[in-house]
Amino acid sequence: MVPLRAVTDFEEPAPATCREGTGEQGAGTHGTGKGLELAFDGVTKAFGDVGVLRGLDLVIPAGQFVAVVGRSGGGKTTLMRLIAGLDGPTGGTIRIAGTARRGLQPDVRLLFQDARLLPWQRVLSNVGIARGPGWKARAQALLAEVGLADRAGDWPYVLSGGQKQRVALARALVTEPGILLLDEPFGALDALTRGDMHRLLTKVWRQHGFTAVLITHDVAEAVALADRVLVLRDGVIADDVAIDLPRAARAAGAPRLAELERRILNAV
Ligand SMILES: Nc1ncnc2c1ncn2[C@@H]1O[C@H](COP(=O)(O)OP(=O)(O)OP(=O)(O)O)[C@@H](O)[C@H]1O
Ligand SMILES: [Mg+2]
Residue 250: what pLDDT?
87
List, for residues 112-140, the tens digit of each pLDDT value. Answer: 888 899 999 999 999 998 788 889 999 99
Is residue 10 within 8 Å of 38, Cβ to Cβ? Answer: no
Q: Report the relative pairing of strands 91-96 and 38-47 from DSSP bridges.
A: antiparallel
Ligand 2 (ion): residues with CB under 5 Å are 76-77
For 67-125, what is each residue's pLDDT tens digit?
A: 999 999 999 999 999 999 999 999 999 999 999 977 887 789 999 888 899 999 999 99
Pair (95, 140) in one structural domain: no
Asked if 76 and 68 count as a contact pair (C-beta separation under 8 A), the reply is yes
Helix pair 191-208, 161-173: axis angle to 10 deg: 10
| Alpha helix (H) residue ranges in the chain | 27-30, 76-84, 123-127, 135-145, 161-173, 191-208, 219-225, 255-267
pLDDT higher than threshold 70 for residue 155: yes
Residue 252 confidence (pLDDT): 75
Using alpha carbons, select from 194, 199, 215, 201 the residue that is nearest to residue 173: 201
Q: How far apart are CA 15 and CA 28, in angstroms?
A: 7
DSSP state of 218: -
Cα 87 to Cα 81: distance, rounded to the nearest angstrom: 6
Find the domain containing 259 and state its range. Answer: 10-107+178-267
Say yes or no: 19 and 101 in one domain: yes
Give the chain's domain count: 2
Judge whether 228 and 243 are in contact, CB under 8 Å: yes
Q: Of all helices (H) and strands (E), which one includes residue 69?
A: strand 65-70
In terms of domains, do 194 and 86 share one?
Answer: yes
Q: Reduced to 3 states, what is the DSSP secondary structure of residue 192?
A: helix
| pLDDT tens-digit series, residues 174-227 | 989 999 999 999 988 898 999 999 999 999 999 999 999 999 989 999 999 999
* Same-domain check for residues 128 and 185: no
Ligand 1 atom, smallest distance to 87 CA: 1
| Tens-place pLDDT, residues 37-51 | 999 999 999 999 999
DSSP sequence for 71-110: -TTSSHHHHHHHHHTSS--SEEEEEETTEE--S--TTEEE
Any domain includes 1: no
Q: Which of 76, 79, 114, 233 to mutate to test the pocket of ligand 1 (most atoms within 8 A of CB)?
A: 76
Does the C-beta of 103 come closer than 6 Å to ligand 1?
Answer: no
Same domain, 28 and 91: yes
Q: What's the confidence (pLDDT) of residue 263?
A: 96
Query: Average per-residue pLDDT in the chain?
Result: 86
Structure pTM? Answer: 0.87
Q: Picking from 182-186, 249-253, 257-261, which range would have the lowest pLDDT averaged per residue?
A: 249-253
From 176, 192, 218, give the residue that closes a domain.
176
Task: Give a yes or no: residue 82 inside a domain.
Answer: yes
Same domain, yes or no: 140 and 71:
no
Pocket test for ligand 1, best of 78, 186, 217 (most atoms within 8 A of CB): 78
Does 74 sit in the ligand 1 pocket, CB within 6 Å? yes
Give the DSSP H or E segment for 228. strand 228-233
Q: Give yes or no: residues 36 and 162 share one domain.
A: no
77 and 149 belong to one structural domain: no
217 occurs within a structural domain: yes
263 domain-assigned? yes
- 93 Cα to the center of ligand 1, angstroms: 20
Whether residue 94 is found in the same domain as residue 200: yes
Domain assignment present for residue 259? The answer is yes
Scored b (16 or more CB within 10 A) or e, 63-80 reads bbbbbbbbeeebbbbbbb
Q: What CATH code is carried by the domain that includes residue 97? A: 3.40.50.300
Q: Which of 176, 207, 224 is the last residue of a domain?
A: 176
pLDDT at residue 33, rounded to an integer: 53
CA of 183 to the centre of ligand 2 (A): 7
Q: Point out the domain boundary residue: 176, 205, 226.
A: 176
Q: Is 81 buried (19+), middle (13-18) or exposed (0-12) by CB count in 10 A?
A: middle
Q: Is 76 in the pocket of ligand 1 (CB under 6 A)?
A: yes
